[in-house]
């Protein structure tokens, strides 16, 4: 295939598939153009105020949805949906792209919970912040180890957040986060190495007061350099040299003396787990049962709905439990990550987990699901396995780590299959076995049936766990590849099939001619 012909085919292919809307009606183009950002932002803020007014009661629909499986090359992220708000657990790099591809709206996102301050968990925060700012989200609150908000200080030169406020929660283990939908208890896990460092630091006397030490730490962490101010580079270099001269001339102080109790938690490496519970939801009033008990329409129905018993005019006692459905106490789910084996001892020593494991008196306290962001090598540790076995057999275990295979994107496969038809050598098919392929003849998805009934589940993008009103696993939206559909889309390009076949014939003749003369 000649270079000019190949370049023409590639340009036509990209132009047809990626910019097809330019051939449509001009009115359609105008509808698809970006709207006034300020107007849409104001509208979204008004809608959020209305939703806040309606959010006095616990939500009726709550579900988990896996956004990123944590496979190598994919972010690990879990999205919690409610009627009124959204919650994100970890935000790896690429989270925003997957949310856009799978149409998971971020306009109601308010809280992001981070389990550990590594790039796999926080790499997608800058892009996510820019996206939610454009849709009118006024504030994002970060929960997790102290110091996560420093990421936005480091990226403030190129991640400009004018209309979005980033706040950091204190994540106090003694003060859980609570709203109308959920209660979250913070469970910090400390590595053995960090415990030894804290113990050794506490033995040293602190010679500086807290405010001065805090200022020194802040000065060392904050980056005020304007990397785009090229005119002042020489001047800043001179200041830096003078600063080094002064620091070399002054007596050096031991670094340990600058660490105080206030800054210790900030700079320490802590993994944060979360024990979450949905707010209890009272049962709904059954009107058919009210008719059977001869309850007249009016304020008596409101009393029964609020849980109060009433007495009818004929002296009949009607209990609220007789005409309402059972209350939903709210399921419990746990999100945990042990970044390394050093954190397992801290995990085993936390007593809060035992309240949701074997031997619980109240069945409502049993954990419905445990989400594991723990890496595979740590999860295979016998101590971690024994901790998992402490949960009842009916508890689900969702794995979002590097042992998964689902990359989470069908779009990359679609474009790769189309490009592969141009040239199989330049554009080979992706060797990704994480997304099942649809069998066109039987129209079924080839998946491992043994994983469906298992309570230890590998994460897949769009895998859902419904928590309310009913608790069940929903696999109807999980990803699959329809190769025949990709091919049909490619052949819809005018003249594509004929030109590709002719170019392949020319390419074969050219190869045969060269091979004949070289031999």
Contact indicator for 62, 468 with CB cutoff of 8 Å:
yes
What pLDDT sits at residue 214? Answer: 55
| Through-space distance between the first and last CA atoms of the chain, rounded to whole angstroms | 21
Spatial distance between the Cα atoms of 356 and 340, rounded to a whole number of angstroms = 24
Of the candidates 266, 301, 323, which is a domain's last residue? 323
Of the candidates 297, 323, 349, which is a domain's last residue? 323
What pLDDT sits at residue 60? Answer: 87
Please indicate, yes or no, if residue 195 is contained in any of the structural domains: no
Residue ranges of alpha helices (H) inside 55-181 are 95-101, 119-122, 125-134, 150-154
Please indicate, yes or no, if residue 402 is contained in any of the structural domains: no
What pLDDT sits at residue 244? Answer: 52
Please indicate, yes or no, if residue 484 is contained in any of the structural domains: yes
Name the percent of the chain lying above pLDDT 90: 44
What pLDDT sits at residue 36? Answer: 54
| 294 confidence band (pLDDT: 50, 70, 90) | confident
Tens of pLDDT, residues 321-373: 888 887 888 999 999 999 999 999 999 999 999 999 988 878 889 999 999 99
What pLDDT sits at residue 209? Answer: 54
Average pLDDT over residues 252-276: 58
- Rounded to 10 deg, the angle between the 411-420 and 483-491 helix axes is 60
DSSP codes, 16-58 = HHHSGGGGS-HHHHHHHSPP-HHHHHHHHHHHHHHHHHHTTS-
Average pLDDT over residues 124-141: 94
When the pLDDT of each residue in the chain is averaged and rounded to a whole number, the result is 78
Single pTM value for the model: 0.74
- Rounded to 10 deg, the angle between the 496-518 and 3-18 helix axes is 150
Quote the tokens at residue 10.
Answer: 């590639």
Strand stretches in 105-181, DSSP E: 109-113, 139-143, 165-168, 177-178
HSE-up (13 A, CA, CB side) for residue 123: 16
- Rounded to 10 deg, the angle between the 411-420 and 3-18 helix axes is 150
Of the candidates 296, 323, 350, which is a domain's last residue? 323
Please indicate, yes or no, if residue 437 is contained in any of the structural domains: yes
Find the range with the poorest average confidence among 200-209, 230-239, 469-478: 230-239
Residue ranges of alpha helices (H) inside 373-410 are 376-379, 382-388
Please indicate, yes or no, if residue 452 is contained in any of the structural domains: yes
Tens of pLDDT, residues 271-284: 999 999 999 888 87
Contact indicator for 418, 17 with CB cutoff of 8 Å:
yes
| 11 confidence band (pLDDT: 50, 70, 90) | low
The gap from C-alpha 458 to its chain's centroid, in whole angstroms, comes to 16
For the chain, how many structural domains are there in total? 2
Find the range with the poorest average confidence among 146-150, 218-222, 396-400: 218-222
Average pLDDT over residues 34-45: 52
Please indicate, yes or no, if residue 420 is contained in any of the structural domains: yes
C-alpha R_g of the chain: 29
pLDDT reading at 206 higher than 60: no
Instruction: Find the domain containing 303 and state its range.
Output: 287-323
Please indicate, yes or no, if residue 392 is contained in any of the structural domains: no
Neighbours of 119 (CB within 10 A): 10
Tens of pLDDT, residues 49-103: 545 555 677 888 999 999 999 999 999 999 999 988 999 999 999 999 999 999 9
Average pLDDT over residues 222-232: 49
DSSP state, residue 330: -
**Pair (317, 412) in one structural domain:** no
**Pair (412, 507) in one structural domain:** yes
Please indicate, yes or no, if residue 446 is contained in any of the structural domains: yes
What pLDDT sits at residue 319? Answer: 86
DSSP codes, 270-307 = EEEEEEEEEPPBPPPB-HHHHHHTTPPSSHHHHHHHTT
DSSP state, residue 508: H
Which is nearest to 417 in space by CA: 344, 507, 488? 488
């Amino acid at each position: 295939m000649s270079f000019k012909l190949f370049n023409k085919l590639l340009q036509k292919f990209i132009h047809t598939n990626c910019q097809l809307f330019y051939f449509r009606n001009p009115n359609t183009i105008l509808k698809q153009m970006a709207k006034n950002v300020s107007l849409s932002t104001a509208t979204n803020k008004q809608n959020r105020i209305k939703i806040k007014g309606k959010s006095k009661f616990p939500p009726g629909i709550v579900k988990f949805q896996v956004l990123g499986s944590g496979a190598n090359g994919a972010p690990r992220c879990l999205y919690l949906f409610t009627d009124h708000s959204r919650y994100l657990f970890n935000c790896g790099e690429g989270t925003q792209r997957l949310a856009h591809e799978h149409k998971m709206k971020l306009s109601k996102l308010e809280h992001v919970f981070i389990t550990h301050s590594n790039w796999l968990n926080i790499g997608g925060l800058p892009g996510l912040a820019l996206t939610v700012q454009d849709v009118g989200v006024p504030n994002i609150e970060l929960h997790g180890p102290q110091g996560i908000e420093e990421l936005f200080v480091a990226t403030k030169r190129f991640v400009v957040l004018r209309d979005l406020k980033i706040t950091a929660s204190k994540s106090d283990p003694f003060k859980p986060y609570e709203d109308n939908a959920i209660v979250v208890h913070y469970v910090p896990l400390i590595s053995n190495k960090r415990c030894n460092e804290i113990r050794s630091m506490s033995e040293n006397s602190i010679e500086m007061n807290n405010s001065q030490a805090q200022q020194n730490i802040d000065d060392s962490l904050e980056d005020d350099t304007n990397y785009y101010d090229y005119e002042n580079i020489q001047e800043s270099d001179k200041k830096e040299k003078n600063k080094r001269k002064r620091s070399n001339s002054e007596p050096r102080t031991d670094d340990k003396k600058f660490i105080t109790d206030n800054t210790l938690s900030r700079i320490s490496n802590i993994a944060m787990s979360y024990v979450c519970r949905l707010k209890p939801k009272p049962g709904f009033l059954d009107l058919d049962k009210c008719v059977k008990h001869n309850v007249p329409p009016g304020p008596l129905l409101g009393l029964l709905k609020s849980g109060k018993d009433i007495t009818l005019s004929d002296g009949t006692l009607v209990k609220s439990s007789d005409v309402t459905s059972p209350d939903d106490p709210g399921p419990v789910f746990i999100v945990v990550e042990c970044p390394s084996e050093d954190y397992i001892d801290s995990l085993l020593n936390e007593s809060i987990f035992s309240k949701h494991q074997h031997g619980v008196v109240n069945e409502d306290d049993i954990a419905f699901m445990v989400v594991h962001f723990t890496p595979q090598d740590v999860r295979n540790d016998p101590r971690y396995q024994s901790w998992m076995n402490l949960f009842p057999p009916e508890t689900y275990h969702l794995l979002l780590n590097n042992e998964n295979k689902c990359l989470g994107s069908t779009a990359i496969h679609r474009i790769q299959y189309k490009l592969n038809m141009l040239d199989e050598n330049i554009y080979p098919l992706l060797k990704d076995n994480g997304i099942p392929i649809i069998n066109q003849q039987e129209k079924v998805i080839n998946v491992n049936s043994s994983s469906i009934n298992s309570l230890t589940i590998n994460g897949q993008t769009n895998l859902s766990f419904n928590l309310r009103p009913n608790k069940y696993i929903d696999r109807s939206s999980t990803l699959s590849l329809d190769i025949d559909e990709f091919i049909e889309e490619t052949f819809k390009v005018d003249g594509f099939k004929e030109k590709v076949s002719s170019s392949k014939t020319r390419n074969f003749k050219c190869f045969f001619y060269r091979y004949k003369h070289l031999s």
